[in-house]
Amino acid sequence: MPTPAPVPADIDPVGDATRPWFAHYPPGVEPRIHAPAERSLGELARSAAQQFGERTAFSNLGGTLSFREVDDIATRIASYLQNELGLVKGDRIVVQMPNLLQYPVVLYGALRAGLIVVNANPLYTTSELAAVVKDAEPRAMIVLANFADKAAQVIADSTIEHIIVTQAGDMLSQPKRTIVNLVAKHVKKMVPAYSLPQAVPFRALLSGDPARFADPGIGPEDLAFLQYTGGTTGGTKAAMLTHWNLLANQEQFIGQMRAVLDSDSTVIAALPLYHVFALTVNCIGFFRLGGHNVLITNPRDIPAFVKTIDQSRPHALVLVSTLAGALLENPEFAKADLSRLRISVAGGMALRSAVARTWHEVTGTHMVEGYGLTEASPVVSVNPTHLPPRIGTIGVPLSSTDVRILTEDGEEAALGEPGELAVRGPQVMKGYWRNESESAAVLTDDGWLLTGDIATRDETGYFSIVDRKKEIIVVSGFNVYPGDIEDAAMLHPKVLEAGAIPVADEHAGEVPKLFVVRRDPSLTEQELAVFLRERLTGYKRPRHIEFLDELPKTNVGKVLRRALREREEGHATLGG
């Protein structure tokens, strides 16, 4: 694996050549960032508390946390993790919860204690969670009670020594805390039965003694996150993201946001904080800016979401294209108080042009699209925030970010010629956790990250994604790897072969379709769908299943997914 370059005082990966995109930066944004004053994300929380004090940092379910409270509670949690649980620098801790007030204090508490955070999607199936736990080898886990039944099935054969269970209302004041928790468990029946007799209740973490906290000496190059992604080929892979990666990327992105937002801004955090985009942009970036992040626990409850938007009167919204589309379809959204809205950011998936146009008509503000990937912490480029966005492009690279378009021979492509997008900058990951071969496949010796996305660049410095080299399916902003679906299907004894591809979907952008060759002709679509429901998270499940007599293959027997896509496109063209 290539050795990461040392952290310089000023970050200048672009060399001595002028890049045309510099001309599009907002006033005050320089071609390169300066190294942030903080050496770690724990220090960032302390700096924010010192600067913004009693101002509201996060709100959710009617409760609030000030910047000073985030810092104080994070220190208490760090002390408890160190002194009561015996966790030490470098230990991994799984965090599995949606957007709740618990998330930021657990995050900063764990990072302050020197732990490496492993974000786990709450929608993971038991087998998906087990794969992550097996790979990361964590010593501890914090899970929302709603998902503790899956954790209970996983920890027996794992390295997990300590499990902390929280309930939705645990960070709220009384009596609301008790009411919210009782309603979730007994009225809405959202908490399945589980057995974890050894579990520590979340509220116990708040009893940690700040005076006993021992600074573990975290530096910029220390790992902060194992952020799981399919990498280039799917499977269980974690991008190793350092404190420096996240500190740099929030500085790069927030540099653009400062053109339209200030420290008094209210930001809607609708994307899950365990997703790397919201993690960097909301939980770290807007937090460091001094913004008030309104955490949305269940954005799929559109009526409640619209009500929160109306009450919060936000200056910024962070969404995915599909969620923006769902808001536009709700008649109450157009009536919400958007008088303070200055910018809307679309991340996680390609922004549909129809959504962008309608959004501008309804809200009076532009939806800004960018580009990123987990391996880049994640933001690489964005449409400049002070200019009308160029819909269909991913904008221009962030400060201290160099981008090249490479031909199949690894040479730089001619202007306008498509090629693989390669990225270099301080946000690029250290590599994949315990996976030298995958790391070497995407990281060059001189620090370039090969993204697997096919892009073009125009003469002004704007980039556009035109295709994918890696066969990814993006469902409402979440990456789905065909191999994961195929592997799950092949576990069924009646399946001989399987191939998965993306197909267009009005709501999710695209969804998986699975082609299957039956081993046993009695296999039905319903039987296979039920089987996959137990093995794949909801957004990974194929929405369409088609049985074929055989699958197209290469001469060495590999399924030709491109041929399946061409077959599907031909049927769509013919109306079949």
The residue ranges of every structural domain in the chain are: 42-54+65-218, 473-574
Answer whether residue 351 shows pLDDT above 50.
Answer: yes
> Which residues on neighbouring strands pair with residue 142, listed in sequence order?
95, 164
Peptide bond into 175 cis (omega under 30): yes
The yes/no answer on whether domain 42-54+65-218 falls in CATH 3.40.50.980 is yes
Q: What is the pLDDT of residue 352?
A: 73
pTM for this structure? 0.85
- In angstroms, what is the C-alpha Rg of the chain? 23
Q: What is the pLDDT of residue 554?
A: 56
Q: Which H/E stretch holds residue 73?
A: helix 67-83
Peptide bond into 378 cis (omega under 30): yes
Answer whether residue 346 shows pLDDT above 90.
Answer: no
Stretch among 126-140, 223-237, 413-427, 507-521 having the lowest mean pLDDT: 223-237
- Beta-strand runs (E) in 48-103: 56-60, 63-66, 92-96
Answer whether residue 232 shows pLDDT above 50.
Answer: no
Answer whether residue 4 shows pLDDT above 70.
Answer: no
Tell me the mean pLDDT in the region 260-272. Answer: 94
- CB atoms inside a 10 Å sphere around CB 248: 26
More confident: 7 or 207: 207
Band (pLDDT 50/70/90 cuts) for residue 399 is very high
Answer whether residue 384 shows pLDDT above 50.
Answer: yes
CATH assignment of 473-574, among 3.30.420.40, 3.10.20.600, 3.40.980.10, 3.30.300.30: 3.30.300.30
Answer whether residue 59 shows pLDDT above 90.
Answer: yes
Answer whether residue 12 shows pLDDT above 70.
Answer: no
- Strand ordering across the sheet containing 237-242: 200-201, 162-166, 140-144, 92-96, 116-119, 223-229, 237-242, 431-432
Q: pLDDT tens digits, residue range 85-121?
A: 999 999 999 999 999 999 999 999 999 999 999 999 9
Band (pLDDT 50/70/90 cuts) for residue 235 is low
Tokens of 114: 């020197």
Tell me the mean pLDDT in the region 413-437. Answer: 95
Answer whether residue 1 shows pLDDT above 80.
Answer: no
